[in-house]
Amino acid sequence: MAHLSRSVATLRISGDELLPDEITKILGCQPTHGQIKGEVIVGKKTGRERVVKIGMWRLCAEDCEPENIDAQVSEMLNKLSNDLAVWKKLSEKYELDLFCGLFMEESNEGLAISPATLYSLGARGIELGLDIYDPVKDENA
């Protein structure tokens, strides 16, 4: 099996009442991005304003080429609290997920995620989401 070309990974904690600074204190790490429900955000590319519909705390890992979800999860979790009681409280109050974007170059690529990574996510109540993007075909070729 050929390895996936590239992966991106973001740990997301979200909820209506979420305050990013509160999550930062609990987990001991600044987010890559935080937002509060009702906040007005201006799009960097479009310049359009939008009102945030849900509070969110996001921590992004470095992109990996080729894909390496295990390393990305380790990178993020090593910055955060190891106290599973803290994670249990967070998972009872908020939605926790790991968003992974997986990018293919060929038509048949794959990945394997280690049991240790799966356990680390599960023990913290973090859902794993995988978005898989097929190779872009050049229609002019």
pLDDT digits (tens, 9 = 90+) for 105-140: 988 888 999 999 999 999 999 999 999 998 876 555
Predicted TM-score (pTM) above 0.85: yes
**What string of DSSP letters covers 13-49?**
EEETT--HHHHHHHHTS--SEEE-TT-EEE-TTT--E
State whether residue 123 is helix, strand or coil: helix
For the chain, which residues make up each domain, given as ranges?
A: 2-133
Rounded distance between C-alpha atoms, residue 33 and residue 11, angstroms: 11
Angle between helices 20-27 and 84-93 (to 10 degrees): 160
Q: What does residue 6 show for φ and ψ, rounded to 5 degrees?
A: -155, 150
> Of all helices (H) and strands (E), which one includes residue 138?
none
**Each residue's pLDDT tens digit, 58-102:** 999 999 999 999 999 999 999 999 999 999 999 999 999 999 999
Handedness of CA 47, 49, 131, 81 (dihedral sign): positive
